[in-house]
Structure 1
Amino acid sequence: MNLKMKKHQLKAKKREIFGKKLKGMRRKGIMPGVVFGSKFNSIAIQFDLLEFRSIYKEVGETNILEVSIESDEAYPVLVKKVQLHPLSDLPLHADFYKVDLTQKVNVNIPLVFIGESEIIKSGEGVLLELMHEVVVECLPMQIPSSFEIDVSQLKTLGDSFTLKDLKLSEGVEVKLESTELICKIVEPMKEEVEAPVITPEEVEVIKEKKEGEEGESSDEKEVKKEAKKESK
């Protein structure tokens, strides 16, 4: 399990621009967002796009970020959702969820598959990945950035990882049954040999050839037989 304790802070200002006017703001490299939370009055904010992209690469949606709004206090938040441009993938808007550092939260943690299994390398088995993230409950400062799954430990067909195999820090709880499968080594799918496809034209040719052979008299067949002998 990976934990990131580095402190990140995003400087922001209260936003008074909404709707269609946001396009002009984005052209200047300013990105809109909102801070919201339980028993918290939402605050519309704006901040530098490049600064946000740099921080977001490190914190993702599983690490605490502080949003400092002008001269107000810095709010501990999780990036809840980032809206992206459908063509350029540039961030258009971000939702920040204000957390209470003393209250547990539920967070989706990504599963990262590492290592190389010999049975997969030899082609005798393939890795069936049944999960790519898992929901955990913990305090905000205990949120892991990811869980690593070392597939080199899987040696034979049927070997698997379940949720109970995850290395959890104290205070981190998985919100699913511990017997749930994460991944498993299974047999490769056998390729089916397709029967040759015969076109209607080919069927007609075969039919005509067969009818021609059946239409020969016994005398004609005997003549052909004698001709073959003489040619030899």
Structure 2
Amino acid sequence: MAGEIPDLHAQERTGTGKGAARAARRAHMVPGIVFGGDVDPLPIQIPYNVLIKKLKDGRFKSTLFNLKVDGHDDVRVICRDVQRDIVQDLPTHLDLMRLRRTTKINLFIPVEFVGEDDCPALTKGGVLTVVRNEVELIVTAGDIPEKLVVDLSGVENIGDTITISSIDLPAGAKPTIDRDFVIANVSAPSALKSDAEDEEEEADADEVPTVGDEEEGGEE
């Protein structure tokens, strides 16, 4: 399970309906609701600047949060919707869903690469190119991995690729993409690539006859 689930601080909102929501916005708060988990919905509000920052950080709707509201037990939630003003595109309301430990959710899990010093392909001069530094997985809320580990010590050759099938995923987790996609590859250094391309160009030039050769052949 992930070592640190980020906290999301909110306040309980008094009153519901359009009037209470407008009052919250006038106080520079974004109104919201917490639902699910066989518990009554809880009206909340979050400081506008806090929510804007989290939205700009990205992945807000696919991040698991530990919701902290004074007077209530902490609960794990995930955002299910952020409503926005159609003109200014600013958040006006958000919906958070409580999660049971068995709830299936989509989350982006970071990828960590280990064993670089023992990687034969890298010791031969190869360069590690990371295609995905995180992978979206379907996981259970009670068994969220902190990271996915890629062991490079078994990558033998320059040109080899590491795909999702070569990573040991947690029990019950699976990628949202239904194909064996690439996580990283070990490519030749750019200097070697340039030398190889130059050699190919020189070889091609040697094979192409010059205009003078063609004329001499015609005269004979």
Residue 178 of structure 1 deviates from its aligned partner by: 8.3
Residue 5 of structure 1 deviates from its aligned partner by: 1.5
TM-score between both structures, scaled by the size of structure 2? 0.53
Residue segments in structure 1 that go unaligned for 5+ positions in a row: 186-232
Find the counterpart in structure 1 of residue 118 from structure 2: none
Aligned residue pairs total 178
- Going from structure 1 to structure 2, the CA distance change for 1:88 and 1:162 (only over 3 Å counts) comes to farther
Please list the CA deviations of residues 23-80 of structure 1 after superposition, one character each: whole Å capped at 9, or x if unmatched.
Answer: 5532421111111114333233223223444566598433331241x52333322233
Find the counterpart in structure 1 of residue 79 from structure 2: 79
Find the counterpart in structure 2 of residue 180 from structure 1: 180
Distance in 2 (alpha carbons) for counterparts of 1:73 and 1:18: 24
* Contact 1:67–1:76, Cα closer than 8 Å, also in 2: no
Higher Cα Rg: structure 1 or 2? 1
Find the counterpart in structure 1 of residue 165 from structure 2: 164
TM-score between both structures, scaled by the size of structure 1? 0.51
AA aligned opposite 1:92? T
* Contact 1:161–1:184, Cα closer than 8 Å, also in 2: yes
Q: Is the aligned partner of 1:36 residue 2:35?
A: yes
- Going from structure 1 to structure 2, the CA distance change for 1:98 and 1:176 (only over 3 Å counts) comes to closer
Find the counterpart in structure 2 of residue 91 from structure 1: 91
Find the counterpart in structure 2 of residue 25 from structure 1: 24
* Contact 2:34–2:96, Cα closer than 8 Å, also in 1: yes
Distance in 2 (alpha carbons) for counterparts of 1:166 and 1:91: 38
- Going from structure 1 to structure 2, the CA distance change for 1:104 and 1:17 (only over 3 Å counts) comes to closer
Residue segments in structure 2 that go unaligned for 5+ positions in a row: 114-121, 186-220
Find the counterpart in structure 1 of residue 209 from structure 2: none
What's the C-alpha RMSD, in Å, of the aligned pairs? 4.9
Find the counterpart in structure 1 of residue 217 from structure 2: none
Find the counterpart in structure 2 of residue 109 from structure 1: 108
- Give the % identical residues: 15
SS in structure 2 at match of 1:25: helix
Q: Is the aligned partner of 1:5 residue 2:1?
A: no
